[in-house]
Amino acid sequence: MFYQYSQVVYTGNNNSGAAAWADWFYRALVLLVIACPCALVISTPVSIVSALAAAASHGVLVKGGLFIELPARLKAIALDKTGTLSRGEPAVVRVVPLNQHTEEELLERAAALEARSAHPLARAVMNTAAMRGIPVRPAADVEMKQGKGVTGLFQGERFWLGSHRYLEERGQETTDVHEHAQAFEREGKTVVVIGNDRHVCGLLAIADTVRPEAHAAVAALRAAGIEHVVMLTGDNRVTAQAIAAEAGIDEVQSELLPEDKVAAVEQLVERYGTVAMVGDGVNDAPAMARSSLGIAMGAAGSDAAIETADIALMTDDLDRLPWLVRHSRRALGVIRQNIVFALAVKLVFVVLTFTGFATLWGAIAADMGASLLVVANALRLLSPPWNASSSEEAARSLVAAKVMHGH
């Protein structure tokens, strides 16, 4: 009797153990399927690629996934003046010859010294010389004075060309030259001085216009959460302040050499952490390299600036700056949504697996469905948000109204 009972109990335990083992093996398979990290792994790369493609379609060339995330964290932006806030298409508006020189002689010497330069001011000199029919004969032994000017041999004599500051450094400034230079600077014009070792030959007054979208772009940057916008320029203080006032920028640092711009950016990084430098010239490249995010005005920018920059605005449109900040934040939002959704699906099915409610086919469907959904969510970055155009139009209208009322 006892033997028979023992046999029954043993047989029952054996069947129960086999059933339990089969059940837990099935649950392990479900857990293995749902633990597959497809949706989680693909959620970030597909979002980054979509954000990069969307930026490219808007004329913003981003050189990597890291740099599509940085604009969302920006606290301050430094802007160059010539070619960035201004059109970068300056023109010579006054020619003032001194010491018995003529306007043609002055332009001929200036064009000779600037013949090999790609700087916007050099192009202005060359264009004026061409319009007046003055032949350009490039100077020999040309030496660049970074951020100051240029020297070279022309017709056997050494001439120099540079800023008002460079004139002061050379110790050749006279009362007459000083009065002319100050008068031009008060009008917001850039002063270029030409001279030799004996005297100052004359001055050129060069004017550039602020980009029409500059004021609205600066206002939009502040509305997007940028705490500080500053202009860094090698131009004189009076001209820089006139341009900054027109663009709606409060802080101006002027008469900066390339190394001074680097130091200014370093100070901003210390104060704000994440800082972008926007420029277009060779003089801006070191500061762009030192900043958290270098942004080049692509179409008008120099090769050095574009090569150094992390992002290039190929349309040279300052409106792309606030758009880039908003786009970056939207991209990070989509990435967070995808990660949270992928992890939530995994967590729900883990709980269902241990409670015995999950099925293998359900796990497969959830895994593949989650992957498809995060991809679909990431692809939303390729199209603008539903209220983007109306918000941008409202911002432009607000800024235009303030400008019209003199605010």
| Most distant CA atoms of the chain, gap in Å | 136
Asked whether 56 and 387 are in contact (CB, 8 A), the reply is: no
pLDDT digits (tens, 9 = 90+) for 317-339: 899 999 999 999 999 999 999 99
Instruction: Tell me: pLDDT of 169 over 60.
Output: yes
Confidence of residue 227 (pLDDT cuts 50, 70, 90): very high
User: Residue 108 pLDDT > 60, yes or no?
Assistant: yes
Residue 358, pLDDT above cutoff 80:
no
Residue 7, pLDDT > 50, answer no
Residue 277 has pLDDT above 90, yes or no: yes
Q: Where are the beta strands (DSSP E) in 215-364?
A: 228-232, 251-253, 275-279, 293-297, 311-313
37 token code pair = 């990290």
Q: Label residue 401 by pLDDT band (50, 70, 90).
A: very low
As a whole number of angstroms, the distance between CA 103 and CA 201 comes to 10
Please give the average per-residue pLDDT across 297-312, as a whole number.
77
What would the CATH number be for the domain defined by 91-207?
Answer: 3.40.1110.10
pLDDT, one tens digit per residue, over 127-152 is: 999 999 998 889 998 888 877 889 99
- Helix, strand or coil, per DSSP, at residue 132: coil
Helix or strand (DSSP H, E) at 158: strand 157-162
Identify the pLDDT of residue 14: 53
* Euclidean distance between CA atoms 318 and 137, whole angstroms: 37
pLDDT band at 356 (very low <50, low <70, confident <90, very high): confident
DSSP β-bridge partners for residue 332: none
With a cut of 60, say whether residue 80 has pLDDT above it: yes
Contact 300, 52 (CB under 8 A): no
Confidence of residue 10 (pLDDT cuts 50, 70, 90): very low
pTM: 0.73
Give the model's confidence band at 4: pLDDT under 50 very low, under 70 low, under 90 confident, else very high. very low
Q: Could you tell me if 395 and 220 are in contact, meaning their C-beta atoms sit under 8 angstroms apart?
A: yes
Residue 162 per-residue DSSP state? E
Q: Say which residue, 170 or 5, is predicted with more confidence.
A: 170
Phi, psi of 230 (to 5 degrees): -130, 150
Most confident of the following: 228-237, 254-263, 266-275: 266-275
Grade residue 123 by pLDDT with cuts at 50, 70 and 90.
confident
pLDDT category of residue 300 using cuts at 50, 70 and 90: low
User: Would you state the pLDDT for residue 407?
Assistant: 37
Cα atoms in the 13 Å half-sphere on the side-chain side of 111: 21
CATH 3.40.50.1000 segments of the chain: 67-87+211-317
Please provide the average confidence, as pLDDT, over all residues in the chain: 84
Q: Which residues of 279-316 are buried (b: 16+ CB within 10 A; e: fewer)?
A: bbbbbbbbbbebbbbbbbbbbbbbebbbebbbbbbbeb
As beta bridge partners, residue 231 has 79, 252
- Whether 30 and 359 have beta carbons less than 8 Å apart is answered as yes
Catalytic residues: 80
Residue 12 has pLDDT above 60, yes or no: no
Domain with CATH 3.40.1110.10 in the chain: 91-207
| Calpha distance 228→233 (Å, rounded) | 16
The tokens of 50 are what? 């979509």
Does residue 5 surpass a pLDDT of 70?
no
- Interhelix angle for 320-355 vs 214-223, to 10°? 30
Question: What does the pLDDT read at residue 15?
Answer: 60
CATH architecture under which domain 67-87+211-317 falls: 3-Layer(aba) Sandwich (3.40)
Residue type, 204: L
Cα 395 from Cα 389, distance rounded (Å): 10
- Of 259 and 281, the structure prediction assigns the larger pLDDT to 259
pLDDT of residue 393: 45
Output the CA–CA distances (angstroms, integers) from residue 57 to 153, 268, 343, 382, in the order listed. Answer: 47, 31, 31, 9
